[in-house]
């Protein structure tokens, strides 16, 4: 029903307006008591789907990627569609509007999206308020820097977000790979990235000790546009800083082999969806093989089918995340992937 009826109607509207409309619809359905119905339709409760990573137990290996619930407003409600974990953000210390609209574009012929949202969010403190309710799903906190913060002061922004969210998320994701904040990807260079991750690791240890709790896992989200040499640097950085894992990958700035209208393809921003499927899998496989599976990997990018998901897992991903595939395929995709995982790995 989603692909034949709901999606064609939604795709007649501006993508960002559809996002807010969908958000409000999910919120309304929850308020009138439909959450249980959604859980009944989309959720598979099977212990064989559980994954134990970072000292956490994930109900299943499929997560909602950052960018959908930026301000931690609907993480419980979105989990009713079958997600095993939900990643909020990207969050910054101060609220910011992001880039000027229009900033979200569909590439229908490519089953893709271009976004240049620019870390639009209400600020980390607003997210903390929203997180102060019971969670029925594991929460990841994706953190970044404000647009006006120069790179030489970026560490402070990330530390502010880490401290603010520490009590209320289950793991952290360091986002230095979005193409939509000027200069942000420069933080992926070996020296500044190592310094940033070491600072976060130290603060994580201090907070855990002072608050008498355990450290939160810290993961690094990387771009798909890195060269092999840069990916080898990432492997070295993970080892040196002793962070807990990598999310591969963010959106791409590549426009290779796109079939959609040139007038849309030329828009600035990162591409997500099917054009990213192959490259993100290549990055996952490279990291897994070259590191001898030294750290966990969350695979994201172009997962539109159970086959895409299994390919990521076979390449070395321990968990996967959806965003654009969720938009194009609808919530039934999560259940179909979980069924495929059960069939493949539990025969």
Peptide bond into 249 cis (omega under 30): yes
Q: How many CB atoms lie within 10 A of CB 118?
A: 20
Please report the pLDDT score of residue 263 as a whole number: 96
Catalytic site includes residue 178: yes
Each residue of 322-339: b (16+ CB within 10 Å) or e?
bbbbbbbbbbebbbebbe
The structure tokens 């450290």 sit at 215
The runs of H, that is alpha helices, within the chain are: 7-10, 15-31, 35-42, 75-79, 124-131, 154-165, 190-210, 228-241, 262-265, 277-290, 306-315, 324-329, 332-345
* DSSP character at residue 166: T
Q: List the structure tokens of 252.
A: 């791409």
Please report the pLDDT score of residue 347 as a whole number: 61
Residue of 35, 47, 177, 178 marked catalytic: 178
What CATH number does the domain located at 2-345 have? 3.20.20.70
Using an 8 Å Cβ cutoff, are 181 and 119 in contact?
Answer: yes
H or E, element range at 272: strand 270-273
Residues 6+ apart with CB under 8 A from 194: 237, 240, 241
- Coil, helix or strand for 115? strand
> What is this structure's pTM?
0.97
Using an 8 Å Cβ cutoff, are 171 and 140 in contact?
Answer: yes
Concatenated DSSP letters of 174-211? EE---TTSTTGGGGGSHHHHHHHHHHHHHHHHHHHHHT
Q: How far apart are CA 285 and CA 279, in angstroms?
A: 10
Q: Are strands 245-248 and 297-300 parallel, antiparallel or unpaired?
A: parallel
Q: List the structure tokens of 116.
A: 């240049």
- Coil, helix or strand for 94? coil
Short-list 85, 114, 96, 134, CA closest to 15: 114
* DSSP character at residue 65: P
Model confidence over 317-327: pLDDT tens digits? 999 999 999 99
Q: List the structure tokens of 281.
A: 């899998």
Please report the pLDDT score of residue 345 as a whole number: 81
Q: How far apart are CA 165 and CA 131, in angstroms?
A: 9
- Coil, helix or strand for 121? strand
Peptide bond into 59 cis (omega under 30): no
Residue ranges of the chain with per-residue pLDDT less than 50 = none
Model confidence over 164-203: pLDDT tens digits? 999 999 999 999 999 999 999 999 999 999 999 999 999 9
């Amino acid at each position: 029903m989603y692909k034949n009826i709901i999606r064609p109607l939604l795709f007649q509207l501006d993508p960002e307006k559809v996002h807010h409309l969908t958000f409000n619809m999910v919120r309304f359905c929850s308020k009138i008591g439909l959450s249980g119905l959604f859980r009944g339709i989309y959720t598979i409760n099977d212990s064989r789907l559980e994954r134990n990573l970072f000292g956490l137990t994930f109900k299943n290996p499929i997560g909602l990627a950052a960018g959908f619930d930026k301000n931690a407003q609907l993480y419980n409600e979105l989990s009713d569609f079958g997600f095993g974990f939900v990643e909020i953000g990207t969050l910054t210390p101060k609220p910011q509007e992001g880039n000027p609209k229009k900033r979200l574009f569909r590439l229908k012929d490519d089953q893709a999206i271009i976004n240049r949202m620019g870390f639009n969010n209400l600020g980390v403190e607003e997210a903390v308020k929203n997180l102060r309710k019971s969670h029925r799903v594991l929460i990841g906190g994706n953190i970044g820097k404000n647009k006006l913060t120069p790179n030489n002061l970026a560490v402070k922004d990330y530390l502010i977000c880490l401290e603010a969210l520490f009590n209320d998320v289950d793991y952290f994701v360091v986002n230095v790979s979005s193409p939509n904040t000027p200069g942000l990807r420069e933080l992926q260079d070996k020296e500044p990235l190592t310094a940033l991750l070491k600072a976060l690791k130290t603060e994580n240890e201090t907070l855990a000790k002072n608050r008498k709790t355990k450290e939160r896992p810290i993961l690094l989200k990387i771009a798909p546009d890195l060269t092999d040499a840069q990916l080898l640097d990432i492997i070295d950085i993970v080892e040196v800083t002793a962070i807990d894992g990598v999310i591969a990958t963010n959106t791409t700035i590549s426009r290779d082999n796109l079939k959609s209208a040139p007038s849309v393809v030329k828009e600035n921003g990162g591409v997500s969806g099917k054009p990213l499927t192959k490259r993100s899998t290549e990055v996952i496989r490279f990291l897994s093989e070259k590191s001898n599976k030294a750290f966990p990997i969350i695979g994201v990018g172009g997962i539109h089918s159970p086959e895409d998901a299994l390919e990521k897992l076979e390449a070395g991903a321990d968990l996967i995340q959806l965003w654009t595939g969720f938009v194009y395929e609808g919530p039934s995709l999560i259940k179909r992937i979980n069924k495929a995982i059960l069939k493949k790995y539990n025969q």
